[in-house]
């Protein structure tokens, strides 16, 4: 257990539905990242928060994706109008400052039918 938690651990949804995932980072970590991992690949960066500010978004993050980190604590990642190509593991990581170890949560596995 790294101290980073994610909820839910698994989500099955039908195409076109909206889904929301939650990440609770290690409490003193001010930086939070979201990654997506598809089968047989390494994780790919989606977006990054420093405290409550979303500072960077990947080109992978289409306008159907939105992420928030109100009050600089937990973060949510919402996918609207899900597509089958969104099926993946969504991972969250936190770290206390730049160039430090990133601690990953267990991930949320999404399956879009």
> Which of these ranges, 19-27, 54-62, 63-71, 72-80, lies near another protein under the rule CB under 8 A?
54-62
- Residue 70, C-beta contacts closer than 8 angstroms, at least 6 positions apart: 52
Nearer to another protein, 41 or 51 (CB): 41
CA distance 1 to 46: 23
Closer residue to another protein, CB minimum distance, 25 or 105: 105
Give the footprint of another protein on this chain (CB under 8 A). Answer: 2, 6, 31, 33, 35, 40-45, 48, 50, 55-56, 58, 89, 91, 93, 98-107, 109
């Amino acid at each position: 257990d790294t101290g980073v938690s994610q909820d839910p651990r698994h989500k099955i949804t039908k195409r076109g539905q909206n889904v929301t995932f939650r990440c609770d980072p290690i409490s003193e970590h001010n930086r939070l990242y979201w990654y997506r991992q598809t089968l047989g690949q390494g994780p790919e960066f989606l977006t990054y928060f420093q405290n409550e500010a979303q500072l960077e978004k990947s080109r992978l993050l289409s306008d159907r994706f939105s992420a928030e980190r109100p009050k600089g604590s937990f973060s949510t990642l919402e996918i609207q109008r899900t597509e089958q190509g969104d099926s993946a593991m969504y991972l969250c990581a936190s770290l206390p400052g730049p160039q430090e170890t990133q601690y990953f949560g267990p991930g949320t596995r999404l399956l879009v039918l």
